[in-house]
Chain A
């Protein structure tokens, strides 16, 4: 039967209002049971059960929903029977905004999507623009390595925040303070480099906004010297601790087949044992020149996802050390008159440079017709940018493939049959950023 999309019902409907067939469809598809399992549930006499199940809302203001995520849970006692994530509370039409801003300004928009890894958002947007311009191979080496440095530090700050929120959600409240403390150290470095703690708009089409400041190497080294010790503390506080293990092991299990079918990427996919990391498997920047390991799990549970993120911080530190050794000298942005404004000093002495500067910031630069999709590995999984250009200075269509938006589809699957108390652990282990889910 063809189903015309309705304007109604984003919410989960009570069992009594839907037929067994519809329930089977909902269970089998939205919640993704196997057909046979769903058929069995559909045949159950639900009428007598009606009093024993209840549908409750968790969120949108629940503190453990990481923003404004609303979950409708159908419960029987403490067991979750069905769950449906309802999103859109933070939707601000950023893809529509992206069509109004020039390629030059676009970074200010995309950086606010996944606000915990802003530099990765800017990076993927810049890389897509560069591919459309055909200058993706001409980016100076220093710019490429600087991008890698910032991207890895951003991965560390994002995972450190995950450590904090994950700890807080599960009752390890001191972990929250520690995680924020370490993340702040990374953000302090970002502030020194970009001028801002978050939403940097630092990675731009053609390179970066500025060179690294004097003394950056010492700052990064200080960070790298401090962190291993702190990560050891995390291990003592959480990894080996029985309560922590009890709360996470075997909770929110997902199999590799399910994760692949649901399009999950990043730590969720890797927790099931699938070795897939775009940094290694479809290398961008110079990731093929540095040595690092892809961390994978075995059981696909919340503990694996926690352990993967903790170890990814260590791998990122390994990459950052190599970047420190190999950071080349040179330009931090491409010297292409079409996309790069003239240096500040030139503006004082040359009328043409002034006009050029004015034009590039008021009109932007024209990008040839075409469409590209570029994907990189953000801390949450594959972040992709699809840009269709009609030859004007603004993107005709700018779409971000947000990893959290896709990953959040795993929630109903991970929660089914679990306890309400575990729901919190499951949401936390998926690490969704609602700014990116709703865009």
Chain B
């Protein structure tokens, strides 16, 4: 879907070779996932890199979500990137050059926080709230850090892998316990 100048050398459909080719963009390792560009950004440079990319033309943040990798810690990552439990994934779109890039940032479990992208892309407001709601990753500098889909007095973060599916007692507001 996205064809970009960076990955012309990578053979199409060759999944094994992509981790060996180390390319960089703004000092972050750039990998290829099924022909799509993925940039592995360090947590301390998150907002900075998004700003740099916005200057490069990636002016729209179309999607931001999280993944809880606690059952998949041996996943393939470029060297220099330490796998952590949570990943926040953002998809940026460059309309003038018709290309996309995906950013992945590692967020450790014991300090699940990340800087908010609100100042760069205000449209991430609801998406960051959703990521907080579902994964418990808080966003520093977010104007309205509250739950968005679950009730505000809900316990737990449903999309975490240790939050069971089904057989969860239904929580009602003000119900006698």
Main secondary structure of the interface of B (DSSP, over half): loop
Q: Knowing A5-B146, A263-B61, say if A390 contacts B72 (CB, 8 Å).
A: yes
Output the least CB separation between B137 and chain A (Å).
9
Contact B1 A10 (CB under 8 A): no
Contact (Cβ within 8 A) B148 A5: no
Q: How far is the CB of A10 from chain B (nearest CB, A)?
A: 5
- Residue A234 lies at the interface, judged by CB distance under 8 Å to chain B: no
A 76-106 contacts with B by CB, 8 A: 87-88, 91, 93, 95-97, 99-100
Sort chain A's interface into a size bin.
Answer: 35 or more
- Beta-carbon contact of B123 and A261 below 8 Å: yes
Chain B residues with CB under 8 Å of A396's CB are 67, 71-72
Which residue of A is nearest B102, CB measured?
A373
Q: Are A26 and B143 in contact (CB under 8 A)?
A: yes
**Does B53 lie at the interface of the complex (its beta carbon under 8 Å from any beta carbon of A)?**
no
Q: Does B33 contact A (CB under 8 A)?
A: yes
Chain B residues in 8 Å Cβ range of A375: 1, 62, 91, 100
- Asked if B15 and A263 sit within 8 Å, CB to CB, the answer is no
Min distance, Cβ A133 to any Cβ of chain B, angstroms: 10
Q: Which residues of B contact A2 (CB under 8 A)?
A: 113, 140-141
Q: Is the CB of B150 within 8 A of A5?
A: no
Q: A256-292 vs B: 1/0 string, CB under 8 Å?
A: 0000111111000000001010000110100000000
User: Could you say which residues of chain A place their CB within 8 Å of the CB of B91?
Assistant: 373, 375, 384, 386, 401
Which residues on the B side are within 8 Å of A8 (C-beta)?
146, 152-153
Interface presence of B50 (CB below 8 A): no
Whether the pair A260, B100 counts as a contact (CB closer than 8 A) is no
* The stretch of A60-68, A347-355, A403-411 that contacts the partner chain: A403-411
Checking B36, B67, B68, B142 against A5 with a beta-carbon cut-off of 8 angstroms, the contacting residue is: B142
Q: How far is the CB of A189 from chain B (nearest CB, A)?
A: 29
Determine whether the beta carbon of B143 is less than 8 Å from that of A9.
no
Mask for B140-160, Cβ within 8 A of A = 1, else 0? Answer: 111111111111111000110
Stretch at the interface among A141-149, A212-220, A225-233, A363-371: A363-371
Contact B63 A262 (CB under 8 A): no
Interface residue B170 (Cβ < 8 Å from any Cβ of A): no
Known: A132-B34, A261-B122, A374-B1. A6 touches B149 (CB 8 A): no
In the complex, chain B residues whose CB is within 8 Å of the CB of A93: 158, 165
Q: Does B106 contact A (CB under 8 A)?
A: no
State the CA gap A274–B93 with chains docked (Å).
14
Question: Which of B21-29, B39-47, B124-132 lies on the face that meets chain A?
Answer: B124-132
Contact of A263 among B34, B124, B146, B165 (CB under 8 A): B124
Minimum distance in angstroms from B163 CB to a CB of chain A: 8
- Report A-chain residues with C-beta under 8 Å of the C-beta of B95: 274, 276, 281
Instruction: Please give, as numbers and ranges, the residues of chain A lying within 8 Å of B34 by CB-CB distance.
Output: 131-132, 134, 370, 372
How many angstroms between the C-alpha atoms of A286 and B130 in the bound complex?
A: 34
Judging by beta carbons under 8 Å apart, are A4 and B138 in contact? yes
Q: Which residues of chain B come closer than 8 Å to A264, judged between CB atoms?
A: 123
CB distance from A278 to the nearest CB of B (A): 9
Contacts of B176 in A (CB 8 A): none
Question: Would you call B2 an interface residue if the criterion is a C-beta within 8 Å of the partner chain's C-beta atoms?
Answer: yes
Residues 88-132 of A contacting B (Cβ, < 8 Å): 88, 91, 93, 95-97, 99-100, 131-132
Residues of A that sit less than 8 Å from B by CB: 2-10, 25-26, 28-30, 32, 87-88, 91, 93, 95-97, 99-100, 131-132, 134, 137, 260-265, 274, 276, 281-282, 284, 368-375, 382, 384, 386, 388, 390, 396-397, 399, 401, 405-406, 408-409, 438-439
Question: Can you sample 20 A-B contacts with CB below 8 Å?
Answer: A4-B138, A7-B147, A10-B146, A10-B152, A25-B143, A30-B144, A88-B151, A91-B149, A97-B165, A134-B15, A262-B122, A369-B76, A371-B38, A375-B1, A386-B65, A388-B67, A396-B72, A399-B65, A405-B127, A408-B126
Q: Shortest 8 CB-CB distances between A and B: which pairs?
A: A263-B123, A29-B143, A5-B145, A5-B138, A401-B63, A88-B149, A91-B149, A262-B123
